[in-house]
Amino acid sequence: MSNIFTSSIGKKLMMSLAGIFLLLFLLVHLGINLLVIISDDPTLYNKASHFMGTNIVIKIFEIVLFGGILLHVIYALVLQVQNWIARPKRYNKANFSNTSFFSKFMIHTAAIILVFFVIHFADFYFKSKFGHMPEVMVDGQLYHDFAREVSDKFKVLPYVIFYLAAFIFLGFHLIHGFQSAFKTLGWDNRKYTPAIQLVAIIYTAVIVGGFSLIPLLLYFM
């Protein structure tokens, strides 16, 4: 059982499972965020955000989410360091013939995405929990005004550019990570691989396109 956490294959398996969990989370998060631009009434988004922040099931899910992110990052770093140690001397001419463009820079895009996640959580999650978040009264109940906070953030051009750039890097990371996760789970054959590659492209386009649409529309509205 301990081999699951210590062997190279076990680490890849755990990282893949955590990655798949994060893939599902991104879809849910996108669906909620789209409420900001779908509805002219900010109350809908604020109520959804309030539900996500107060529901006991969601609060448990938050712990699982942070655990999934931490697990994914730790195993990714451990595997990368092990690869560097296994090959301490770089080849004079790197052989990338069997390596996709996206897989070459996974560790680099991961580092950029991690920085973005830290800033993003600080701006919204931690600010609502421990800082000062604008509030609004809805049906006699006080809610954090996430809709206003999001709208204000995306009126600042440097923040919009940073946000868009982060999701472009996320797209590079996702398109390889999606395929790699299922490959680790054994779905790497002539029957499944083409379908997984297609789904990876569609999924990445939906996530990057959806999240990018929000700041663009809010900035130019």
- CA proximity to 17, closest of 78, 68, 90: 68
Domains defined along the chain, listed by start: 3-88+101-220 (1.20.1300.10)
Helix axes 8-33, 193-220, angle to 10 degrees: 40
Residue 38 has pLDDT above 80, yes or no: yes
Question: Quick one: pLDDT at residue 161?
Answer: 94
* Two structure tokens written together for 167: 């999701």
* Per-residue pLDDT reduced to its tens digit, 103-149: 666 677 777 778 888 888 777 777 777 767 778 887 778 888 888 88
Q: With bands split at pLDDT 50, 70 and 90, how would you rate the model's confidence at 55?
A: confident
Neighbours of 63 (CB within 10 A): 9
Question: Quick one: pLDDT at residue 28?
Answer: 86
Question: Quick one: pLDDT at residue 95?
Answer: 47
What's the rounded mean pLDDT across residues 43-54?
84
Residue type, 65: L
CA distance 81 to 96: 19
- Separation of first and last alpha carbons in the chain: 55
Query: 202 vs 87, which has greater pLDDT?
Result: 202
Question: Quick one: pLDDT at residue 215?
Answer: 94
CB-side neighbour CA atoms (13 Å) of 14:
24
Lowest mean pLDDT among 33-37, 80-84, 195-199: 80-84
- In terms of Cβ atoms closer than 10 Å to its own Cβ (0-12, 13-18, 19+), residue 120 is middle
* Per-residue pLDDT reduced to its tens digit, 7-24: 666 666 666 777 777 888
Question: Quick one: pLDDT at residue 102?
Answer: 54
- CA proximity to 107, closest of 126, 82, 139, 132: 82
Neighbours of 221 (CB within 10 A): 9
Residue 191 has pLDDT above 50, yes or no: yes
CA distance 33 to 36: 6
